Amino acid sequence: MARRKKIYEGKAKILYEGPEPGTLVQYFKDDATAFNAQKKEVVDGKGVLNNRLSEFFMTGLNNIGVPTHFIKRLNMREQLVRSCEIIPLEVVVRNVAAGSLSKRLGIEEGTVLTRPIVEYYYKDDKLGDPMVTEEHIAAFGWASQQDMDDILSLALRVNDFMSGVMMAVGIRLVDFKIEIGRLYDGDYQRLIVADEISPDSCRLWDAESGQKLDKDVFRRDLGDLADAYTEVARRLGVMPKNSQPITKPTLIN
Ligand code: 5GP
């Protein structure tokens, strides 16, 4: 097989040069990291599950007219995506208090917010992705006012879509993080949802029991991460109902 050019390797994914100009191949690794990579583990099957789940969410968004980088899934671990310039912001939308919001403001986890809260974090591992305001974003030229209007609108549309899809399968979308990319078309640019949407970047709680079905299972040592993600995939019909969690191949005598 011809060697591919690696463009970028992150904590959970690798980007390779794509088959055509303007495309990339996004490879989902099994590596799980938390607390800025201070906690690390390999979770067999996580990459396969996130590839399928991100495909599911991005396809749904494309279908309702929310532009994303996703073109098609190529195989178990890879998808073809549009190459774009990532805006150095993590855009977080919250429906229910949890995680850093609860910690920072002392609001009890599980408190339903009266309106979605959108927050911005500057993407910089060395700084621990600090929270920033629109003032910082404008002053440092990370995005224009028009970009910010478009980002807010994209974030809220993703929230409406994802909340509905998850509630239909008995899961509460507590919060999530997305990344936004710029796509250039001649003199014009368009903003699109990039990176991934998966249980790695969302908080998902069972609507009845409150059971966590997202990366907090790993962050807080609450059980088997692959089992939690498999449950999300099963409920969404992304995996057959009776399939076992994806693990390494085992030899059968
Ligand atoms: P919090 O700010 O409460 O830690 O996170 C809010 C939401 O954004 C959670 O769903 C969390 O999973 C997601 N999130 C925040 N930062 C990151 C990040 O660096 N990587 C990923 N994958 N998700 C993040």
- Residue whose CA is at the smallest distance from ligand 1 atom 20: 201
**Pocket of ligand 1 contains residue 217 by CB under 6 Å:** no
Taking each helix axis from N to C end, the angle separating 46-63 and 225-235, rounded to the nearest 10 degrees, works out to: 30
pLDDT at 243: 59
Q: Which atom of ligand 1 is nearest to the CA of 98?
A: 3
pLDDT at 250: 54
To test the pocket of ligand 1, the residue of 50, 201, 203, 220 to mutate (highest count of ligand atoms within 8 Å of its CB) is: 201
pLDDT at 2: 63
Q: CA nearest 67: which of 163, 202, 180?
A: 180
Judge whether 224 and 214 are in contact, CB under 8 Å: no
Give the Cβ contact number of residue 167 at 10 Å: 12
Could you state, in order of their start, the residue ranges of all structural domains in the chain?
Answer: 6-84+224-235, 85-206
pTM of the predicted model as reported, rounded to 2 decimal places: 0.94
Residue 111 Cα to ligand 1 middle (Å): 18
**Pocket of ligand 1 contains residue 201 by CB under 6 Å:** yes
Q: CA nearest 177: which of 105, 89, 114?
A: 89
pLDDT at 113: 98
- State the 10-residue block means of pLDDT for the chain, 253 residues long: 86 97 98 93 97 98 98 98 98 98 98 98 96 98 98 98 98 98 93 98 98 97 97 91 56 53
pLDDT at 242: 56
**Pocket of ligand 1 contains residue 30 by CB under 6 Å:** no
**Which one of 3.30.470.20, 3.30.420.40, 3.40.30.10, 3.30.530.20 gives the CATH number of domain 85-206?**
3.30.470.20
pLDDT at 239: 79
Residue 178 Cα to ligand 1 middle (Å): 9
pLDDT at 3: 75
pLDDT at 36: 87
- CATH 3.40.50.1100 assigned to domain 6-84+224-235? The reply is no
